[in-house]
A and B are shown apart, each in its own frame.
Chain A
Amino acid sequence: MKITRDQLMALLFLAPSFLLLIIFVYGFIGWTGWVSLSNWNTLVPDMSFAGLKNYIYLFGDYRFQADLRNTVFFTILFIGFVIILGLGLAILLDQTKKANALFRNIFLFPMALSFVVTGVVWQWLLNPSTGFNQFLQVFGIQPKWYTDTNILAGFQWESIEFGLPVAMIAVVIAAVWQMTGFSLAMYVAGLTGIPEELREAARIDGASELQIYRKVILPMLTPITMSVVIIMAHISLKIFDLIYAMTGSGANFVTDVPGVYMFETTFRGNYYANGAAIAIIMLLLVAVFIVPYLINSRRGAS
């Protein structure tokens, strides 16, 4: 096969970026994997082979078990509320025509903020001795928010109590506040893309407004929901800054997550091999969602 000059130029144009990513993404992941199998749990690098020692240590570790529990509940609640709230608001905005742009801008602006800013502010809003509790005390409720160490519906699992850590709810509120704009924007774009004729046709067939949403519109939004779930899942599995800024690990690690543990054990404790093992586990968790999604969406595109 003969390659023209222009085709060669195209390859040369792309090559620097591609090579950078091969090294800095794939090469570095490989190197992290190698570190995770080493004895480098000291300040001075020690790359002698340790086998799966670091992984075995982590899965028996109280803190890491708590992190896995917290991640499971955080991910489920976070994705659930972002989708319900985003879809609900998009449908409401679809039905009310006045001041739509204003409402949309209000729901979307937290997306422009840093998780650090969000953490700093919500840390005060959900502080048990002030913030929202000043309104709630009128009703006689005083939640302890992120300082609560209770585990709801907990049962003993390995060394931890498995169940919903109440303190995580505070973090979920802050994260949902920040990210709902994303799902809202996606659903608004999806709803705009549904032709009016389709709804008209359903109306002529005698469908009520509720039925039109249930039978016609929601099924058409399924691909968008899939995208939102994937994107929110990868954000929630690697979350670090929000929790680091808002609550830290919490008493009994009730708000700890792998991202925070990795950071502290690696860069504050010099347990590089343990940190690398946490990072590889985080990568595998994200890959479970992302790889099928990428393969699927690429296949659909070509």
Chain B
Amino acid sequence: MMVVRRIIKYAVLIAIAIFFLTPIYVMLITSFKPLEEVSLSEMWALPSTIDFSSYTHAFSELAPNLMNSIYLVIPATLLSAILGAMNGYVLSKWKFKGSEIVFTMILFGMFIPYQSILIPLIQFLNSINLYNSIIGLIFTHVVYGLPITTLMFRNFYANIPDSMIEAAKVDGASFFGIFRQVILPLSITGFVVVAIWQFTNIWNEFLFAVTITNNDAQPVMVALQNLSGSQIVQWNVQMAGALLAAMPTLLVYILLGKYFVRGLLAGSVKG
């Protein structure tokens, strides 16, 4: 009886796991098919040979946009993480009258639909000549990334005992001294978690990307959407493009999944 139950449990888990992996299977086999094997009726069939032509095609279409995404994601991730660490430090270790209200006001920015700030944002970026530029997009992601990075660092620093701060104060350390000598050395895990989270979100983001940039400055997700919306592009190329665009975040997940999950939980569980 127990054995039967266990077999059923594993059967259910395996069935759902297969369902979850199906899209990856289809992406992989389709992207390796030569053009003549791509047909609606043969979608599930394995390719007869491994053909890289859809990858070379997709890469030649997406390469400039992949570079744009890299230029976007690295500075935006670093800046929003550093500012988040500073805010988190103050909001966890230097609480003041009204700091909880300030924190709640910051947090609200994480949940707003960005449509509700998009029109003024574009007017603003236009007025300072950053519309349709990667720098404008970096700025946008830093500002609207602040709530989540602040939340993550605040919760992270809440676990550093206050007694350590007090001891440093007794030793004569100042506000900056404590940040540099006590907090930052303990922040490495925090920075890894926040950086992975921001990297994934900014890389995958679409609404800001599609409204703030056009043509040359577009990040890869916008280019991928254009590729798949185009009637003349074969879907083996679309699948190869989707895999190429997803590769950086998938690799981060495969290599550092533990930290990714920590970020996911840190961003949602109240601290």
Contact = CB atoms under 8 A, between A and B. Distances in A.
Contacts of A96: 6, 9-10, 13
A124 B26 contact: yes
Given A17-B83, A237-B113, A114 B94 contact: no
A204 B237 CA distance: 60
B23 A177 contact: yes
Contact of A227 (B107, B121, B204, B268): B268
B43 A124 contact: yes
Given A24-B143, A92-B13, A108-B261, A121 B239 contact: yes
A96 B239 CA distance: 35
Interface string B93-112: 01010001011111111011
Interface string A9-35: 111011011101110111111011001
B270 A300 contact: yes
A185 B262 CA distance: 9
A57 interface: no
B116 A283 contact: yes
Nearest to A24: B143
A14 B265 contact: no
B22 interface: yes
Interface stretch (B59-67, B129-137, B185-193, B244-252): B244-252
A21 B257 contact: no
Nearest to A258: B115
B225 interface: yes
B174 interface: yes
Given A32-B119, A297-B270, A106 B20 contact: yes
B263 to A, nearest CB: 10
Nearest to A283: B116
Interface in A92-133: 92-93, 95-96, 98, 103, 105-125, 127, 129-131
Given A14-B91, A121-B242, A131 B96 contact: no
Contact of A125 (B23, B117, B118, B241): B23
Contact of B43 (A29, A119, A130, A283): A130
B interface majority secondary structure: helix
Nearest to B238: A120
A32 B113 CA distance: 12
Contacts of B106: 17-18, 21
B89 interface: yes
A126 B223 CA distance: 22
Contact of B40 (A118, A129, A240): A129
A290 B104 CA distance: 11
Contacts of B176: 9
B111 A9 contact: no
Contacts of A199: none
A interface majority secondary structure: helix
Interface residues of B, number: 89
Nearest to B223: A116
Contact of B118 (A11, A18, A279): A279
Given A245-B225, A290-B111, A31 B120 contact: yes
B130 to A, nearest CB: 13
Given A122-B23, A298-B100, A24 B117 contact: yes
Contacts of B225: 116, 119-120, 244-245
A25 B96 contact: no
Contact of B44 (A106, A134, A258, A297): A134
Q: Please indicate which of the listed interface residues B109, B116, B121, B260 has the most CB atoms of chain A within 10 Å of its own CB.
A: B116
Given A17-B83, A117-B224, A302-B100, A282 B115 contact: yes
A1 to B, nearest CB: 9
A7 B144 contact: no
B264 interface: yes
A95 B9 contact: yes
A267 B250 contact: no
Contacts of A286: 111-113
A189 B252 CA distance: 21
Given A20-B143, A121-B23, 6 more contacts: A5-B174, A6-B175, A13-B90, A18-B106, A121-B26, A275-B115
12 contacts: A21-B146, A28-B117, A28-B120, A105-B257, A106-B21, A114-B245, A116-B224, A120-B228, A127-B40, A238-B114, A240-B206, A245-B228
